[in-house]
Structure 1
Amino acid sequence: MPTVGAVLAELHVELVAADRSVWSGEATLVVARTESGDIGIMPGHQPLLGVLQSGPVTIRTSEGGTVVAAVHDGFISFADNKLSILAEIAELADEIDVARAERALERAQSDTDAAAERRAEVRLAATTGVH
């Protein structure tokens, strides 16, 4: 157990969707969208419990890589250097079919379905890394 004031280099992250575990590993930074806005969580962050909004989640891994996921609704919890992201739906950027997401966006726009439009926009943003 680290002493008070010790600098922690990484945090353990679990990204879980309703139907599966999406990603698990060590990270130095996680950025997610909550009801209060975007939040960045680094090792040693204050404990928190929040409601996720649909948006990309960016994970900077301990190995220096980046993992991006499209996350739709859920909860985020951080305590004892463990971050849990529990989402209704979550997809890693490299799992997303861009052409399919573009078609879904077009359909949602023509049907004026704001929720479907937001989901498609989040999926596309995750694939491009643009938030």
Structure 2
Amino acid sequence: MNTMNVNIVTPNGSVYNQDNVEITVLQTVGGDMGVMYGHIPTVTAIHTGYVKVHYTDGIDYIAVSDGFVEIRQEKTSIIVQTAEKAEDIDVRRAESAKERAESHLNNNDEDTDINRAKRALERAENRLKVSDLLK
């Protein structure tokens, strides 16, 4: 079976790079998309969610924020603001971030940036969801 490379990049650089990938599942704006070696070249937007990478020796789940994916026949490049492997997620920190975001959203303070709080809540909930995929 032919395999491909998957690379996830954030503003801080490459945070995930895996060779020998058999299939990658992405949550795109058009729905879930499976990508295998030889896929037609594509660029599309992805949602905050997770990327599931099946490779020769196992499966990785990576929590990602909104971004884009560029698919080539032998390589998939995912460009997002944040990305974190499921096993690296600090659940306590994610729970704390969720509580802070909920507090900001429930606060009637005029100084609260509602959109920022909503995005923070979405990221925290996503990180918790992805960490649960390992259970």
| TM-score, reference length from structure 1 | 0.84
Aligned position for 1:62: 56
Between the aligned partners of 1:54 and 1:90, the Cα distance in structure 2 is 10
Tell me how far 1:111 sits from its aligned partner.
Answer: 2.1
- The question of whether the paired residues in 2 share the 8 Å contact of 1:73 and 1:88 is answered with yes
Aligned position for 2:42: 48
Between the aligned partners of 1:121 and 1:76, the Cα distance in structure 2 is 22
Between the aligned partners of 1:61 and 1:125, the Cα distance in structure 2 is 22
Q: Which has the higher helix share?
A: 2
Aligned position for 1:38: 32
| TM-score, reference length from structure 2 | 0.82
Say which one has the larger Rg.
2
The runs of 5 or more residues in structure 1 that have no matched partner are 1-7
Q: Which amino acid aligns with 1:47?
A: P
Query: Is 1:114 aligned to 2:118, yes or no?
Result: yes
Q: Which amino acid aligns with 1:106?
A: E
Q: How many residues align?
A: 122
Q: Counterpart of 1:114 in 2: which secondary structure?
A: helix
What do residues 39-75 of structure 1 show as CA deviations (whole Å, max 9, x unaligned)? Answer: 1112222221011211111111122x11111111221
